[in-house]
Structure 1
Amino acid sequence: MSNSKRPHPSTADLNNNEIISNSPVQSKKLKSVDNSNGKKSYTIGQIKELRMLNFMCHKNFSIEFHPTSMQIVTGANGSGKSTIANAICLCLGAQARTTGRTTNVQSFIRKGDTHAELSITLANEGAEAYKPEIYGKNIHIIQRIGAKQSSYKILGENRQVISTRKETIDEINQALSISPENPLCVLHQEIAKTFLLNSDSQKKYQ
């Protein structure tokens, strides 16, 4: 039998675990890994940054995305990976029921807190940019979830509020080809458990 000892986790592993687990007091920021060489630009509609405050298991959490075609988020069970997908969809106007967790958006408020806030930044550059004269190169969407109701703010690159209408988010999604409620675009963990087992094709694509 070998007497070799199990290696200790590296500093990088410890740092990664600290970020993923998320301290309830200090804000954590996670950056996706960019293994590409050379500078790349964001694709129109690509997520640049996501912020969560008092949302599910996260007290104060943010993640920045690089302009690459694939983003991979890793972490232990219960660390909040699925929470990121839920936050993205809700902030982009999806109904709570599409997450497969609940029909009440207030259920996403972190236990012990009275409200939650989500913020997402979308790239809006290039020839097909959506109303660049109004929004500029970035579109910021903020959703505040209160105990009784939720509200939205849509801001441009200069952080000036342009709209507070949910319909504005729908228009942005359509222009940038974003479908936060389509399971072919975002397949939530709870939905995945039953989606493929559903023999009714009409329910799969409704």
Structure 2
Amino acid sequence: MATSAARAAKRARIAAPPPPTPTPTQLRRGDGGYVPGNIVEIELSNFMTYHRLACRPGPRLNLVLGPNGSGKSSLVCAIALALAADPGVLGRAASVGAFVKRGEESGHVKISLAGTHPNTLSASRGRSIPRTSPSGSSMAPLCQERKLLISSRNSIFKGATYPFVVNLFLISVFLLNCVQLLPQDRVVEFAKLTPIQLLEETEKAVGFPDLPVQHRQLIDRSKQLKNLEVMSLVLRSKAVKQKEQTLNNLKALNAELKEDVEHVQQRDKLMKKVDLMRKRLQWLKYEMKKKEWIEAHEQEKTMKKKMEETAKIWEDSKRPIEELKKEKMSHTSNTKRTSNQLA
């Protein structure tokens, strides 16, 4: 009887109508600069190449660089699994146990995303998530922790998984979208997308929920527009033809006046050029006079320097002559004195 009751309850759960589909919201940056859905914190333990990793990306562009085998793809796998993705999404392994580091029995991944409003709360490791994010934003992060067991194909989630997945939809996080999440093992699948499929996936990944709907409406209205254009061509009346004739006449008149307009435009260009050349002529005259003044000034400085050098040479040459004159006067005086004494 208990078994029958359990089966009846199970059938009732299956027959129950699904919960209403939530509507994605417009994404805006919070006080700390994080957009809802940005990774606030990620923590790995015994996951693939990592023994222990904890980091807090910033709110803007984040780029992971490293050589081959350094763990870049491992980080992508960790983000996907922490966001409750099925291992098959990654195209690497069907069991979560394959992602546990070799030699370890278990591992875990934990991720915190910027939330959509201050009332978003979850629990992790038996402690409450504060309502304020690490960056000081008023939006509480969405937090999810997933434990991976190597001995089991399943994993253990800490926290309510369904509300977390609903919140991912609300902030436009779609793990099956190759444009938004492209693991290394799904590159071939991404390359096979047609341009139309690539555009549709890109629109979903942009984060604006109304964009795909608007695109479909645009396609429908484009078809309607083409139908109206065809009807307009079929139902074109004599009045339309008369307007076309009037348009042709105006075009012919415009062609006749075009030459006059070109002459006027050419004249305006020449007048502007003449005005510019006049201004430039005055400037060139100024430059020439300035150059002449600089050359004359340099010549003046050169002549002054030569005069000073000549004066110095003159003074130097006068000095021996003066000395000879003094000696001559001295000899003359001595001669007179001697003559007087002899007389």
Alignment TM class, shorter chain as reference: 0.5 to 0.7
Q: 1:151 aligns with which of 156, 166, 169?
A: 156
TM-score relative to the length of structure 1:
0.66
* Residues 1:132 and 2:107 aligned together: no
Distance 1:197 1:76, change over 3 A: same
Q: 1:66 aligns with which of 43, 55, 58?
A: 58
SS in 2 for 1:51: strand
Return the alpha-carbon distance in structure 2 between the equivalents of residues 194 and 45 of structure 1: 25
TM-score relative to the length of structure 2:
0.41
State the 1:198 CA deviation: 6.3
Return the alpha-carbon distance in structure 1 between the equivalents of residues 143 and 70 of structure 2: 26
* Corresponding residue number in structure 2 for 1:55: 47
State the 1:174 CA deviation: 1.2
Distance 1:41 1:198, change over 3 A: closer
* Corresponding residue number in structure 2 for 1:168: 163
Q: Between the two proteins, what is the percent identity of the paired residues?
A: 25
Q: 2:81 aligns with which of 90, 97, 101?
A: 90
State the 1:110 CA deviation: 0.5
* Corresponding residue number in structure 1 for 2:315: none
* Corresponding residue number in structure 2 for 1:179: 174
Distance 1:142 1:194, change over 3 A: same
Residues matched between the structures, number: 153
Distance 1:115 1:95, change over 3 A: same
Contact 2:120 2:141 (C-alpha < 8 Å) held by counterparts: no
* Corresponding residue number in structure 1 for 2:288: none
Contact 1:40 1:67 (C-alpha < 8 Å) held by counterparts: yes
Which residue identity does 1:132 align to in structure 2? N
* Corresponding residue number in structure 1 for 2:72: 81
SS in 2 for 1:145: strand
Return the alpha-carbon distance in structure 2 between the equivalents of residues 192 and 114 of structure 1: 30
Unaligned runs of 5+ in 1: 1-38, 155-162
State the 1:192 CA deviation: 0.5
Q: 1:193 aligns with which of 188, 193, 207?
A: 188
Return the alpha-carbon distance in structure 1 between the equivalents of residues 34 and 90 of structure 2: 27
Once the two structures are superposed, the pairs formed by residues 103-122 of structure 1 within 5 Å of their partners are 103-122=94-113
SS in 2 for 1:116: strand
Superposed CA RMSD in Å reads: 2.7
Return the alpha-carbon distance in structure 1 between the equivalents of residues 162 and 178 of structure 2: 21
More strand by share: 1
More helix by share: 2
Higher relative contact order (CA 8 A, sep 6+): 1
Which residue identity does 2:44 align to in structure 1? M
